[in-house]
Structure 1
Amino acid sequence: MVRFKNRYITVEINSPMVPDSKPLTLISKSFHETVMNKIQQLYGDFGVAAVRTGFLTKYCNEHTRIAILRCRHGPHQFVTSSLPFITKIGKLDVRLRTLHVSATLKHSFKFIQKHQRAYLDKMWANLKTNEERKSLEAAVMDFTKTDVSINIEQIA
């Protein structure tokens, strides 16, 4: 029996159209299709066939604009090398930045926890009440959001 190794790619999604104070809304299906289309454009049918098995969006947080992609070990290099070339998801202009690549989901979440703590420290200075701070902390530190499906056209 053969064990399949996976790689978890932590990606930060930046958009100049949406201010940092507002949450970024994405449809994970369009994000998935955009990545696959870029791999098709760069690596052709071989790249798409290699990546398609096991490729999945595991986590997406609209407040911190972080997503985790799961891909099999080996073809993960196709994914990581194609992410910087993605400039649009749907009608939304974006810039993707790879933050971390790990072998386990646990290590990805440990990295995200440290990254989001730094984000919270930066954003708390802008909030006035403790209720706003607690609601932001609850939203940022929530690791259960796996699929955000709000329409992108609402932003544009």
Structure 2
Amino acid sequence: MVRFKNRWLLVELIPVGEQQGNPTRLEAKQIWAALRESIQKYFGDVGWGSVSHSLTVKYFSPTTSICIIRVARDHHRVARGGVTLLDSIEGIRIVPYVIDISGTIKHAQLSAIEHNRKVIAQYRARAQTSASYQDSYDDYLEASTNEIQALRD
């Protein structure tokens, strides 16, 4: 039996302009559609044909604007190119930032959880709250960690 080898892209979609600081109202299927358009625009039908069977947005958090994208190992450069060339999704201007590329979902999960903790710490620093302060971010961190850990290949 042959195993399909994938790459997992951890991407932060940083909102620009009036959406900055507010949770985005995007969904995984909108991100997938924008990726499809970007890949078709910049890499043509051949580029889209190479990644279309394996490209999947497995996770998206509107609070921290991170998503986990799965793509076949042989064509992950096309997917990454499509991600970095995105400038807007559904009219929301964004700047994509590829945080990590990993070979297993486990490493993508660990990177996502670590990144979520850093972003929440930045939110708390802006609000000037102490680390021991209980707020909705604690609930979010627990819920997002459980959701990320529940992802399966």
TM-score tier after normalising by the smaller chain length: 0.7 to 0.9
Residue aligning to 1:103: 103
- Check conservation: 1:124, 1:133, Cα contact below 8 A: no
* Change beyond 3 A, Cα 1:65–1:140: farther
Give the total of aligned pairs. Answer: 144
1:32 — aligned with what? 32
User: Which residues of structure 2 form unaligned runs of 5+?
Assistant: 149-153
1:86 maps to what in 2? 86
Q: Which structure ranks higher in relative contact order (CA pairs < 8 Å, sequence separation ≥ 6)?
A: 1
Please report the TM-score for the alignment, with normalisation by the length of structure 2.
0.84
How does the TM-score come out when normalised to structure 1?
Answer: 0.83
Deviations 1:29-77 (A, max 9, x none): 2211110111111111111111011211111111111000011111111
1:59 & 1:105 partners in 2: Cα distance? Answer: 11
**3-state SS in 1 of match to 2:25:** coil
* 1:7/1:104 contact within 8 Å kept: yes
Mapped contact 2:86–2:96 kept (Cα < 8 A): yes
TM superposition shift of 1:119: 1.7
How far 1:127 sits from its partner (Å)?
5.9
Dislocated runs of 4+, deviation >3 Å: 127-130
Q: Which residue of 2 aligns with 1:140?
A: 141
Q: Specify the SS of the correspondent of 1:64.
A: coil
Q: Which residue of 2 aligns with 1:56?
A: 56
Indicate the structure with greater helix content.
2
Matched, 1:121 2:121: yes
Alpha-carbon distance in 2 for matches of 1:23, 1:140: 15
Q: CA RMSD in A?
A: 2.1
Shift of 1:129: 8.9
Task: List per-residue Cα deviations over 1:72-116 (Å, max 9, x = no partner).
Answer: 111111011121211110111111111100011110111122222
